[in-house]
Chain A
Amino acid sequence: GDSVTQMEGPVTLSEEAFLTINCTYTATGYPSLFWYVQYPGEGLQLLLKATKADDKGSNKGFEATYRKETTSFHLEKGSVQVSDSAVYFCALSRDSGTYKYIFGTGTRLKVLA
């Protein structure tokens, strides 16, 4: 079945460091890929998405490129801030009608001042 694998956390970085959170997926066909972010005490918010191979999603300085050849969708940011501390979820959606997401286990990021 479909699945999403994320790097385990927690990830602890100093402010202005470079961030990479790895995400790989297994799915038939051509799923859409997403990164959601969950700030403490809140629900999930869409951070970025890509719907086809080679698409790059970007938002708030975060980027991820849909790589079909490596079945990956790694999240990157050039310079993290304390306010980026959160849990990040990679997800895929394969159904074209009802978007039933399959989520990774989440990666907790802590950024130190």
Chain B
Amino acid sequence: NAGVTQTPKFQVLKTGQSMTLQCAQDMNHNSMYWYRQDPGMGLRLIYYSASEGTTDKGEVPNGYNVSRLNKREFSLRLESAAPSQTSVYFCASQGAVTEAFFGQGTRLTVV
């Protein structure tokens, strides 16, 4: 039972480069989320998708875009990476009456 799978696990980007973080879940959950985790700040919501075909901004959406490709997949795109986006990124999914399940995270460094 894979749960929530994120790729890649580690990435180093140069300022201005773009990349897409991938997330897939196999639990048939409707809701999916992207969070970033920074030291001393806990997890902050970037974007979420309540169901296939819908996306909404969270607390810190600037500099990011998302795509809910289908019910399983929810990707996060950085169009022009900045050092301030250095962080650990977590994807999560949630069913109607369950808690959120998190992936193992992507550690991104922008130099």
The smallest C-beta distance from B12 to any residue of chain A, in angstroms, reads 18
| Cβ-defined contact, A98 with B48, below 8 A | yes
- Say whether A105 faces chain B, with CB atoms less than 8 Å apart: yes
9-residue interface stretch from B13-21, B69-77, B78-86, B97-105: B97-105
| Cβ-defined contact, A42 with B104, below 8 A | yes
The contact sample of 21 A-B pairs, CB cut-off 8 A, is A41-B104, A42-B104, A42-B105, A43-B103, A43-B105, A44-B43, A44-B90, A44-B102, A46-B99, A89-B42, A98-B48, A99-B31, A100-B45, A100-B48, A100-B58, A101-B45, A103-B35, A103-B42, A103-B43, A105-B42, A106-B42
| Cβ-defined contact, A43 with B102, below 8 A | yes
Specify which chain B residues have a CB less than 8 angstroms from the CB of A4 in the assembled complex. 42
- Say whether A25 faces chain B, with CB atoms less than 8 Å apart: no
Bound Cα distance A89, B35 (Å): 14
- Say whether A71 faces chain B, with CB atoms less than 8 Å apart: no
The number of chain B residues touching the other chain, given as a range, is: 20 to 34
- From DSSP, what is the main secondary structure of chain B's interface residues? strand
The number of chain A residues touching the other chain, given as a range, is: 20 to 34
Output the nearest chain A residue to B104 by Cβ-Cβ distance: A43
Nearest 4 CB-CB pairs, A to B?
Answer: A43-B102, A103-B42, A103-B43, A105-B42
Residues in B lying within 8 Å of A, measured CB to CB: 4, 31, 33, 35, 40-45, 48, 50, 58, 90, 92, 94, 99-105
Residues in A lying within 8 Å of B, measured CB to CB: 4, 34, 36, 41-46, 49, 89, 97-101, 103-106
| Cβ-defined contact, B41 with A105, below 8 A | yes
Bound Cα distance A43, B35 (Å): 11
Given A98-B31, A105-B42, 5 more A-B residue pairs with CB atoms under 8 Å apart are A43-B102, A98-B50, A100-B48, A101-B45, A103-B42
Bound Cα distance A97, B101 (Å): 16
| Cβ-defined contact, A105 with B104, below 8 A | no
| Cβ-defined contact, A101 with B102, below 8 A | no
Specify which chain A residues have a CB less than 8 angstroms from the CB of B48 in the assembled complex. 98, 100
Output the nearest chain A residue to B43 by Cβ-Cβ distance: A103
| Cβ-defined contact, B100 with A99, below 8 A | yes
